[in-house]
Structures are given as structure tokens and as C-alpha cells.
């Protein structure tokens, strides 16, 4: 049984096809049955009328030969079947006694007499057990006192054969018609639902970032729907932008006063400095943490698909310059042609923070690699700095981990990366790099990504 | 070392300038991009600290303008904007390093000194000339391993000569980089300070080239 819920979610094309199928399956056979019945009636009537006219011919032809005391006929019925023995077509004229005249086809057999008054059709079993339709009429002839029973009988085979032929033809035509109807309905559904399919494909394209908005070149009723969706998408995008900007502005507004307080605190005597500096640091960390969260787009953003190299180019170039100024070597190895659909800012933030962390600790070089392994995008950043102990790694991955009191600007980096990566359904792993420093590896699901090119 | 601090927030600019001056740097403040643009094209600085959020346009735009004019001054970006998209904009405009707000003065000093040192082509934080070595991180000067105590003015003078070595530094250049723009020194002051440095570091450590200026030389080879 299909549940009601499943029925509600049945595709439109299936619904239309099913209803068309039901109509075809119910109406065509009913029409067939009706036609067939009517045809049989018509054939029967025609058959009966023929029997009647044959009977009249027989009656008109029969006469009584007084001299020989026999019944004679002077008419031929013009149908050779009456002359062929047991052909199924018979006539017979008979009185109550021994006088009898039959068609040659009846040979030595006789047809039973009903004695019922008037003219009546009967169905009897005739010679060779054939079903016959029989018409009988009683007449009187001049010169003969006795009543004559005149009978014409014919096999029903002919009727059945005609009906069977008609039915074969009928059902064949109806089946053809049904098939055609279903095919045409299918075509009609295709054509009728084409705009819906277009809107669906358009939506998919938007989701995959191949198109900024849904196509609106659609029938009137769908164009409005598409417009509404576009409005929502647009507003969503604007709201997100506004949220990011607002978060950025708020942070900006807070940071300058905090920086001022910082410079003032530095001028205080040592003992007063510590407590205030700690509070300022807490304030700063809270701002940074929530800013990073608020400005992350997350996986729900309908971003455009971009090349990884292009997305990371500004960060890689910035870090290259920075590394150069700090006397570090920077190797970047990103596969070209690798396309991603993660929000560009989020991805820049993830990689930027990892690289920044590496730069702050590295002795002579940092490495960045980006590859695809199985269903995952793997971004790996390693350095030849002091590395991390397992406990410190644990701490670094926890929220707001404060590892790096000595070097500002990097304390929150890893925890921000952790949050962003988790937001996108990925993972951050820390282990030792072959060069002895730290290797940070971010894996992000490729479900959001597609490798192209 | 003479620094231009471009920061529109007055309290922050003054607080930071005071901290940097405590560390022996000369600091001039520009409150907006236009003033900074004027100062950079007319005065000589060793480095610029540039805030990105200026009242008259984004700091990155001013910076790329300077870079287009061929001004290769080391620029340290000071920004509250922490997102990498903002930082990347700073770097592509030609920034050399950055520090995010809020900051510790020590870090700004560290980054500035490293930038200036590298701009003069010194990769190592300790610059040695003969038996004199100058640690650019800690601002310590030693002669034959013994610490030498210098006044802020003397340190600036020596630091500039050491960074520039073996180039000859003109008196005009020294005036621009070592002395406050408001208190223009008469030529005497430089002579007096150079001779004081010679007393502390050895008579042959600083060479006077008449009509051209001064130059740091390795004392050992000169003798």
C-alpha cells in the first residue's frame, strides 16, 4: 500500500500519467463492450430478417400436388448451402402426417416441430449437434386440409464468425487507440511540465553556483514564483553581506579603543599592568572569536564554483610577501583545475589563519599543499618551527584555546580554523611535520566541491 | 629610526607614538591619507605604520598610490580588520607586514625593526661591523662583546649609520632620519654626537669624508 504521505509527494508527471492510464483502461474497454454488444444485436437482427425472407420464399414456392399427394416446390432459394448436405442451412415443410418436403441439405434428418401458434424464433440443436436458429410458421395450402409447418433453420456459426471478426478488429483498434492515447498524454505531460523542469534545473544551477539567479523566462504563473525565489535569494545574500559588514564594523569600532587602552596600560606601573592587560586580552579574544563566527558564511551559502588557486591567490600572495619580509621560504603547491564551492572568504580565512600560524612559528620555511583524496579536499600547512606536544594540540583545537600568549595575532587562529572547518563539515588535524615542526591538515568534504577542468 | 604613523584615531596615535618614542624612535603622526601623502613625498622616513581605515579613503588605496610612484618605504599595516580578505587587500597594495589591533607595542617595534633591517639588506637581526654589533631586536650595542650605553639620540645616529653601512651617509640624510623635524640641529650637533660615539666605540669606527658625510668602518681593518 502506498501511504498517504507518499501519495502527496508523488511527482506531477506520475500523477498525470496515472490518471490518463486509469481513464484509458476504464473507458476504452467499456466503449469496446458497448460497441461489440450493439454489433451483435445488429448482426442478429439482420440474420433473423434473412431467415424471415427465406421462409417467405419457401412458403411462396411450396404447393400441393393433388394427383401425387405430395408437396412440391418450384422455387430455388438461390443459396447453394441448402443443397449441401448438413451445411447448417435447412428448410422443411411438413404436415402432421407423412407429407414432408425438405431442403437437400437436411438429407434424412428432420427438424422438430413446435406446434406453437404464430411465428417464432427458436434455438435448436440440429444435425451434427450444431446450434441452429429456427423460424417456423404454420400455413394452409389450397386443396389441402392439413396445416403445414414451414421451417427455415440456419447455423449460428455465421453470426458468431462475423461477431468474432468484428471483435478482433475492434479490440485491435482500441488497443492501438489506447497506446496512442498514452503516448500522446506522455508527450503532453512533457510539454506541459517543461517549464517546471526548467525551473528545477535552474534552481540546481543556482545551488551549484553556476548561475546567480533563477531563469524568469517562464510561463506567467511560474515566472512569478521564480521572481519570488530570486527575491529571497537576493535578500539572503544582502542580509549575509550586511551581517558580515556589521560584524566587521562592530569589531573595528571596538578594537581601536581596546588598542588605545592597551597603549595606556603599557605605560602603567608593572603591577597594575598585568590585571588590566589580561582583561583587555579577554575582551579582544571575545571580539575576535565572535567576529570570526558571525562573518563565516558556512556551507549554506550558495556560492559560485571557483578554482581553488583563484580563491586562495590573494592569501598565497600576501603570505608570500609576508614570508619574504620575515626571511622565510614559502612553497605553495595547489593543483590547478581543482574547483571548490566553499565560500571564498571562509576558505581564505581557514588557509590564511593556518599559514599565519605557521609563519609565526617557522624557523626557515612553510609549505602549503592542496590535493584531493577520495571524497575530500585536503589542505596541508607545515612548518619547521618547534611543533606542538600532544597536550598542546588538544588545547589548540578546543574553543578559544590560548596557546600563544607570546605572539599576538595567532592565539585564536587555530580555534577559529577549527570552527570554520566544522561549520563546513570538515576536520582539522594536527601532527608533526616531516621537518620537525607542526603540520596542520584541514579536510573538507568534496560534496560541496567538484573537481572539474 | 624615523617613523610616520598614519592613524586617524587621535588617542591611539598619541599613545602608540609615545610608546615608540620611549623605545627611541622618532615618530611623526598623520591623521589622514592626504597628510600622509604629503609627508611621505616631502620628508624622509625609515618606515610607515599605516592604519587601513582612514577618514579619506582606504589605507590600501593610498599605499598602492605610493607604490605606483615608486616609493619603496617599508610599510607596516595596522588594522582592526582581521579577515584575510582585508589583509590580502593590504598585501596586494604593497604592504610589507601587518599587526592587528589591539597590539602590543613590543610587537610593533619588533616588526618595524625587522622591516627596516631587511630594507637595508640585512637578513640577520644582529648587524656586525668590526667588533661593534647592533642587535636590532633588543636595540643593544656591544663593542667586543661588552655592552655600550648610548642615549636615544646617539642610538638613532649609530643605528642609521650601521644600517646604511658601508654606504656613506650625508649630513642631510642624518638630519632627516635621526632628528625631529621641529628641532632642526645645527651642523655642530651632529659633529658633537659623532665624536661622542667615536669615544664610546673607538676613534676609527666612524669615518668622516669631508664634504660627503660619515661612514661606519671596521675598526680592525682601519688600524
Average pLDDT score over residue span A130-143: 88
C-alpha neighbours within 13 Å on the C-beta side of residue B64:
11
Q: How far is CA A303 from the centre of its chain?
A: 27
Average pLDDT score over residue span A23-41: 92
Least confident window among A34-38, A63-67, A410-414, B82-86:
A410-414
pTM: predicted TM-score of the whole model, two decimal places: 0.63
> What mean pLDDT value characterizes chain A?
84
A-chain residues near B97 (CB < 8 A): 322, 325-326
Give residue B203's pLDDT. Answer: 78
Please state, in angstroms and rounded to a whole number, the distance separating the CA atoms of residues B63 and B48: 10
Domain boundaries, chain B: 2-119, 126-222
Least confident window among A25-29, A39-43, B32-36, B53-57:
B53-57
Whether residue A406 has pLDDT greater than 90: no
Nearest to B115 by CA among B49, B65, B71: B49
Of B15, B82, B87, the CB nearest to A260: B15
Q: Do A429 and A352 meet the contact criterion of CB atoms below 8 Å apart?
A: no
DSSP A131-192: EEEEEEEEEE-TT--SEEEEEEEEETHHHHHHHHHHHHHHHHHHHHHHHHHHHHHHHHHHHH
For residue A219, count other CB atoms closer than 10 A to its CB. 14
Q: Give the three cell numbers for residue B44.
A: 624622509
A-chain residues near B101 (CB < 8 A): 255-256, 258-259
How many angstroms away from the CA of A299 is the closest CA of chain B?
18
Of B87, B96, B105, the CB nearest to A263: B105
Whether residue A238 has pLDDT greater than 70: yes
**Is the Cβ pair A263, B18 closer than 8 Å?**
yes
Please state, in angstroms and rounded to a whole number, the distance separating the CA atoms of residues B168 and B174: 11
Of B19, B101, B104, the CB nearest to A256: B101
Q: Give the three cell numbers for residue A416.
A: 577559529
Whether residue B41 has pLDDT greater than 80: yes
Nearest to A95 by CA among A146, A61, A152, A153: A146
Q: Do the domains at B2-119 and B126-222 have one common CATH topology?
A: no
Please state, in angstroms and rounded to a whole number, the distance separating the CA atoms of residues B56 and A315: 26
Please state, in angstroms and rounded to a whole number, the distance separating the CA atoms of residues B52 and B8: 10
Pseudo-torsion of CA B190, B195, B197, B202, nearest 10°? 150
Question: Would you place residue A144 in the very low, low, confident or very high pLDDT band (cuts 50, 70, 90)?
Answer: confident
Name the one residue in this structure whose C-alpha cell is 563539515: A425
Give residue A399's pLDDT. Answer: 53
Residue B49 backbone zone (phi > 0: left; psi -120 to 50: alpha; other: beta): beta
Non-local (6+) Cβ contacts of A301 within 8 A are A240, A343
Give residue A302's pLDDT. Answer: 54
- CATH fold of B2-119: Rossmann fold (3.40.50)
What was the ipTM of the complex prediction? 0.75
Q: Find the DSSP H helices in chain B.
A: 10-22, 33-42, 59-68, 84-93, 105-119, 152-164, 171-178, 187-201, 219-222
Please state, in angstroms and rounded to a whole number, the distance separating the CA atoms of residues A311 and A347: 8
A-chain residues near B84 (CB < 8 A): 314-315, 318, 345, 348-349, 351-353
Omega before residue B102 within 30° of 0, cis:
yes
C-alpha neighbours within 13 Å on the C-beta side of residue B34:
2
B-chain residues near A348 (CB < 8 A): 83-85, 88
Q: Which domains does chain A have, with CATH numbers?
A: 62-156 (no CATH), 208-295 (1.10.287), 303-451 (3.30.565.10)
Whether residue B55 has pLDDT greater than 50: yes
Q: Do A369 and A330 meet the contact criterion of CB atoms below 8 Å apart?
A: no
Nearest to A168 by CA among A32, A52, A287: A32
Q: Give the three cell numbers for residue A318.
A: 600576501
B-chain residues near A314 (CB < 8 A): 84-85, 88-89, 91-92
B-chain residues near A264 (CB < 8 A): 15
**Is the Cβ pair A345, B84 closer than 8 Å?**
yes
Whether residue A152 has pLDDT greater than 70: yes
> What mean pLDDT value characterizes chain B?
85
Q: Give the three cell numbers for residue B2.
A: 624615523
How many angstroms away from the CA of B46 is the closest CA of chain A?
15
Nearest to B16 by CA among B112, B153, B87: B112
Average pLDDT score over residue span B138-160: 86
The DSSP output letter for B169 is B
A-chain residues near B16 (CB < 8 A): 259, 263
**Is the Cβ pair A352, B88 closer than 8 Å?**
yes
Q: Do A158 and A47 meet the contact criterion of CB atoms below 8 Å apart?
A: yes
What is the tens place of the pLDDT at every residue in A252-283? 788 888 888 888 888 888 888 888 888 888 88
How many angstroms away from the CA of B96 is the closest CA of chain A?
6
**Is the Cβ pair A251, B82 closer than 8 Å?**
yes
- CATH fold of B126-222: Arc Repressor Mutant, subunit A (1.10.10)
What is the tens place of the pLDDT at every residue in A191-232? 999 998 899 898 888 877 677 788 888 888 888 988 998 999
What is the tens place of the pLDDT at every residue in B113-139? 888 888 888 878 788 888 888 888 788
Nearest to A295 by CA among A339, A340, A256, A352: A352
**Is the Cβ pair B123, A327 closer than 8 Å?**
yes
For residue A280, count other CB atoms closer than 10 A to its CB. 17
Whether residue A81 has pLDDT greater than 50: yes
Amino acid at each position: 500500500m502506498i501511504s498517504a504521505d507518499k501519495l502527496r509527494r508523488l511527482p506531477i508527471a506520475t500523477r498525470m500519467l496515472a490518471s490518463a492510464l486509469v481513464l484509458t483502461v476504464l473507458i476504452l474497454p467499456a466503449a469496446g463492450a458497448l460497441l461489440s454488444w450493439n454489433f451483435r444485436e445488429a448482426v442478429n437482427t439482420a440474420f433473423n430478417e434473412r431467415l424471415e425472407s427465406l421462409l417467405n420464399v419457401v412458403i411462396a414456392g411450396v404447393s400441393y400436388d393433388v394427383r401425387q399427394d405430395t408437396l412440391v416446390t418450384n422455387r430455388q432459394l438461390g443459396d447453394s448451402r441448402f443443397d449441401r448436405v448438413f451445411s447448417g442451412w435447412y428448410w422443411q415443410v411438413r404436415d402432421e402426417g407423412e407429407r414432408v418436403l425438405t431442403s437437400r441439405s437436411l438429407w434424412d434428418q428432420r427438424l422438430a416441430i413446435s406446434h406453437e401458434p404464430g411465428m417464432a424464433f427458436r434455438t435448436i440443436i440440429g444435425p451434427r449437434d450444431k446450434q441452429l436458429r429456427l423460424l417456423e410458421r404454420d400455413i394452409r395450402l389450397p386443396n389441402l386440409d392439413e396445416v403445414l409447418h414451414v421451417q427455415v433453420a440456419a447455423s449460428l456459426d455465421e453470426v458468431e464468425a462475423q461477431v468474432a471478426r468484428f471483435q478482433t478488429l475492434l479490440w485491435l483498434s482500441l488497443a492501438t487507440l489506447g497506446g496512442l492515447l498514452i503516448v500522446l498524454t506522455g508527450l503532453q505531460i512533457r510539454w506541459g511540465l517543461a517549464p517546471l523542469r526548467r525551473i528545477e534545473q535552474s534552481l540546481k544551477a543556482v545551488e551549484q553556483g553556476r548561475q546567480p539567479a533563477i531563469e524568469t523566462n517562464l510561463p506567467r504563473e511560474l515566472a512569478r514564483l521564480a521572481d519570488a525565489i530570486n527575491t529571497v535569494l537576493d535578500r539572503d545574500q544582502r542580509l549575509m553581506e550586511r551581517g558580515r559588514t556589521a560584524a566587521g564594523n562592530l569589531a573595528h569600532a571596538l578594537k581601536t579603543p581596546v588598542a588605545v587602552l592597551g597603549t595606556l596600560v603599557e605605560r602603567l606601573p608593572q603591577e597594575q599592568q598585568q590585571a588590566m592587560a589580561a582583561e583587555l586580552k579577554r575582551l579582544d579574544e571575545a571580539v575576535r572569536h565572535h567576529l570570526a563566527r558571525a562573518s563565516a558564511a558556512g556551507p549554506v551559502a550558495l556560492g559560485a564554483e571557483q578554482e581553488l588557486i583563484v580563491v586562495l591567490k590573494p592569501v598565497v600572495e600576501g603570505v608570500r610577501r609576508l614570508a619574504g619580509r620575515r626571511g622565510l621560504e614559502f612553497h605553495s603547491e595547489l593543483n590547478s583545475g581543482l574547483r571548490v564551492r566553499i565560500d571564498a572568504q571562509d576558505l581564505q580565512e581557514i588557509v590564511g589563519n593556518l599559514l599565519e600560524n605557521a609563519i609565526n612559528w617557522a624557523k626557515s620555511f612553510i609549505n602549503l599543499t592542496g590535493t584531493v583524496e577520495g571524497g575530500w579536499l585536503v589542505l596541508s600547512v607545515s612548518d619547521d618551527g618547534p611543533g606542538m606536544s600532544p597536550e598542546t594540540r588538544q588545547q589548540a583545537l578546543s574553543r578559544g584555546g590560548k596557546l600563544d600568549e607570546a605572539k599576538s595575532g595567532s592565539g585564536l587562529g587555530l580555534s577559529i580554523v577549527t570552527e570554520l572547518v566544522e561549520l563546513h563539515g570538515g576536520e582539522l588535524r594536527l601532527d608533526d611535520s616531516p621537518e620537525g615542526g607542526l603540520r596542520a591538515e584541514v579536510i573538507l568534504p568534496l560534496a560541496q566541491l567538484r573537481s572539474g577542468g | 629610526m624615523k617613523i610616520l604613523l598614519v592613524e586617524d584615531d587621535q588617542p591611539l596615535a598619541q599613545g602608540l607614538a609615545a610608546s615608540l618614542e620611549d623605545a627611541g624612535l622618532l615618530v611623526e603622526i598623520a591623521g589622514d591619507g592626504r597628510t600622509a601623502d604629503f609627508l611621505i613625498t616631502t620628508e624622509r622616513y625609515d618606515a610607515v605604520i599605516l592604519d587601513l581605515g582612514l577618514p579619506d579613503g582606504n589605507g590600501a588605496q593610498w599605499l598602492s598610490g605610493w607604490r605606483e610612484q615608486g616609493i619603496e618605504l617599508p610599510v607596516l599595516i595596522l588594522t582592526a580588520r582581521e579577515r584575510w580578505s582585508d589583509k590580502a587587500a593590504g598585501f596586494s597594495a604593497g604592504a610589507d607586514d601587518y599587526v592587528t589591533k589591539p597590539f602590543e607595542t613590543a610587537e610593533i617595534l619588533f616588526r618595524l625593526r625587522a622591516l627596516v633591517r631587511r630594507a637595508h639588506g640585512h637578513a640577520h637581526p644582529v648587524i656586525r661591523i668590526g667588533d661593534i654589533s647592533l642587535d636590532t631586536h633588543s636595540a643593544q650595542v656591544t663593542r667586543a662583546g661588552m655592552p655600550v650605553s648610548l642615549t636615544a639620540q646617539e642610538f638613532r645616529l649609530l643605528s642609521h649609520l650601521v644600517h646604511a653601512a658601508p654606504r656613506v651617509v650625508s649630513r642631510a640624510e642624518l638630519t632627516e632620519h635621526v632628528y625631529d623635524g621641529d628641532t632642526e640641529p645645527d651642523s655642530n650637533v651632529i659633529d658633537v654626537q659623532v665624536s661622542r660615539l667615536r669615544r664610546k666605540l673607538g676613534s676609527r669606527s666612524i669615518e668622516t669624508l669631508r664634504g660627503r658625510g660619515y661612514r661606519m668602518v671596521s675598526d680592525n681593518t682601519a688600524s
